[in-house]
């Protein structure tokens, strides 16, 4: 099993003629212990398609199987590591009990039947949670007692509240829950895990001074603020091989800043950010760096995206209104 190290924020739009001519994106690449046959990756996409108990559904197995290709890599939607305060969104799957493991087995089996690989993205939302979606109405937690300004993504009619600052013992407990979630992913048949470190969620909340005002070993200097993500990275790397780093940027930057980042790394590198609006940049970066290319929204609307890209078939335009339809 492989461990995908870290991720930063971004998304994608519309692609045509992405793979014309000899391109790196059509070439094989080794990721950890796995050999991929192309470099187009399904980006992690929250879809709210789990059931009310955060168990993956048959619809999710169908969804991932539709997008699986021989030697292709899929990264799942972000998945809760515990049933206590890691969540805070409805109908998002978890990986902390046996029923969820069994539900994920249907997903991994469906993907493997098509010759694909699938990695689970493990997640704790921290202060982004809404109390009304947490068990026993518990208070959301974070690095510090600093709330997110503005409405919640889970329910735009509700404002975020001030979170409770995690104690040292609680941080240690959450660290072990990330490890257990990774072990559960192995039991569910996943080929690897990705540690979600982006988008203002718990790991990102420890990294940023706008959400971390701690004065202990987890606050202050960048070394202290980076202590939790580094500790998690080392712990999960002990459980599995280090496979790749995944970074994304706000799409208006079109990966201009992270395009050359792989030169600092030894492993595989996945980049994402505005590739659907600028497909020529995706091929340019792939050809220049050998990056894997993560695609999100175009993959929702085009389950056969890899085939379409390889054969220069026009893409179906996505419909944002269908992105977050919940299964209740």
Q: Which residues are catalytic?
A: 201
CB-based contacts of 250: which residues, under 8 Å, 6+ apart? 9, 10, 273
Q: Would you mind telling me the total number of residues written for the chain in this entry?
A: 328
Element (H, E) at 243: strand 241-248
Q: What is the DSSP letter of 83?
A: S
Check: CB of residue 35 under 8 Å from CB of residue 71: yes
| H helical segments located in 67-167 | 98-113
Count of C-beta atoms within a 10 Å radius of residue 231: 15
CB-based contacts of 271: which residues, under 8 Å, 6+ apart? 246, 247, 248, 255, 258, 259, 261, 285, 289, 291, 292, 293, 294
Q: Report the DSSP pairing between strands 268-272 and 292-295.
A: parallel
Check: CB of residue 294 under 8 Å from CB of residue 282: no
- Residue 41 — φ and ψ, nearest 5°? -120, 140
Check: CB of residue 307 under 8 Å from CB of residue 314: no
């Amino acid at each position: 099993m492989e461990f995908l190290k870290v991720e930063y924020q971004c998304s994608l739009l519309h692609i045509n003629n992405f793979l014309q001519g000899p391109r790196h994106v059509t070439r094989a690449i080794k990721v950890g212990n796995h050999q991929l046959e192309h470099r187009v990756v399904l980006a992690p996409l929250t879809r709210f398609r789990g059931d009310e108990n955060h168990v993956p559904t048959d619809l999710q197995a169908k969804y991932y199987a539709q997008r699986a290709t021989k030697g292709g890599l899929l990264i799942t939607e972000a998945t809760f590591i515990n049933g206590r305060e890691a969540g805070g969104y409805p109908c998002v799957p978890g990986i902390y009990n046996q029923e969820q493991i069994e539900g994920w087995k249907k997903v991994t089996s469906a993907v493997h039947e098509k010759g694909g690989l699938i990695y689970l993205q493990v997640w704790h939302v921290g202060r982004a949670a809404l109390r009304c979606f947490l068990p026993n109405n518990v208070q959301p937690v974070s690095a510090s007692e600093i709330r997110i300004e503005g409405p919640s993504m889970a329910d735009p009619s509700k404002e975020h509240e001030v979170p409770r600052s995690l104690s040292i013992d609680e941080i240690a407990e959450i660290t072990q829950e990330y490890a257990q979630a990774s072990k559960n992913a192995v039991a569910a048949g996943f080929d690897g895990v990705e540690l979600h470190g982006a988008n203002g969620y718990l790991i990102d909340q420890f990294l940023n001074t706008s959400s971390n005002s701690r004065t202990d070993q987890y606050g202050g200097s960048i070394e202290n603020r980076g202590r939790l993500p580094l500790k998690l990275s080392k712990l999960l790397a002990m459980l599995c091989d280090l496979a790749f780093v995944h970074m994304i940027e706000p799409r208006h930057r079109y990966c201009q800043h992270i395009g050359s980042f792989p030169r600092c790394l030894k492993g595989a590198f996945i980049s994402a950010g505005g590739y659907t609006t600028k497909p020529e940049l995706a091929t340019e970066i792939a050809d220049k760096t050998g990056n894997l290319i993560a695609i999100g929204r175009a993959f929702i609307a085009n389950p056969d995206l890899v085939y379409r890209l390889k054969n220069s078939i026009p893409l179906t335009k996505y419909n944002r209104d269908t992105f977050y339809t919940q299964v209740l």
